[in-house]
Amino acid sequence: MAIDLRAFTNARVALGRAGHSLPTAELLRFQLDHARARDAVHQALDPCHLPPHVLLRSAALDRATYLRRPDLGRRLSSDSAGLLAPGEYDAALIVADGLSAVAVERHARPLLAALLPKLEGWRLPPLHVVLQGRVAIGDEIGQRLGAALVVLLIGERPGLTSPDSLGIYLTWAPRAGRTDAERNCISNVRPEGLDYALAAHKLHFLMQEARARRLSGVALKEDALLL
């Protein structure tokens, strides 16, 4: 009995062929998915889709500069640095547009809604939202805020079947110069990937473990029991 592999995945498998090429329908679908991925990279974030927040900007002044100069997306603009109010915080929650503003607009609010009830008793500053931000910008923000832990929600690089994938990066003792090996990542948060409840469950586990063990990254394993 023949098995239709496409019933089990959104990946581009079992596409068929027409001579030495793809069938016209599959070629057109590829071009549409490619266009959606490109649009996701270039689309600007509308902060109105997010809960109340402090709006910040990176040193990349516009989207074109952000895409050409990743280094500028890793640090705050001088004006934004002055908007941060230091305190004694257990964790700071940050949202950045990254490479897919559409992922942030669709998934950041429901993910935060699933997470925040689990953080009762945690000392948290207001939510901060960064335009033209890369992952490492969370380190500077967390350090300036005086947060022991930083959690960054960011739009991931779009794929041909996933232009709206949200990523989560967790870093203990954030400071400029932290490496990716010192972070934990939860990827592909969206209804078609890791749903909000399970992502919040995994993130809360990592936050608790990071605070208890005072570390993050490769030394901190994600072995939370499933819901």
| Per-residue pLDDT of the chain in tens (227 residues, 90 and over written 9) | 667 766 777 776 667 777 778 778 777 887 887 788 787 788 889 999 899 999 999 999 999 999 999 999 999 999 999 999 999 999 999 999 999 999 999 999 999 999 999 999 999 999 999 999 999 999 999 999 999 999 999 999 888 778 899 999 999 999 999 999 999 999 999 998 999 999 999 999 999 999 999 999 998 987 765 55
Residue 140 lies in a domain: yes
| 154 belongs to a structural domain | yes
User: Looking at residue 108, which CATH number applies to its domain?
Assistant: 3.40.50.11240
Q: What is the pLDDT of residue 158?
A: 83
Q: Please report whether residue 3 resides in a domain.
A: no
Residue numbers of the domain that contains 181: 53-213
Sort 130 into a burial class: Cβ within 10 Å, 0-12 / 13-18 / 19+.
Answer: buried
Query: Residue 189 falls within a domain, yes or no?
Result: yes
126 within domain boundaries = yes
Return binding residues for adenosylcob(III)alamin: 135, 156, 185
Q: Is the separation of the CB atoms in 45 and 55 below 8 Å?
A: no
In a domain, 91, yes or no: yes
What is the rounded distance in angstroms from the CA atom of residue 192 to the CA atom of residue 135?
Answer: 23
pLDDT given for residue 226 in this prediction: 58
101-115 and 196-213 helices cross at what angle (nearest 10)? Answer: 70
Report the C-alpha gap between 145 and 89 in whole angstroms: 8
**What's the pLDDT score for residue 1?**
61
- Is the residue at 218 inside a domain? no
Residues annotated in a binding site: 135, 156, 185
Indicate whether 101 belongs to any domain: yes
Report the domain count for the chain.
1
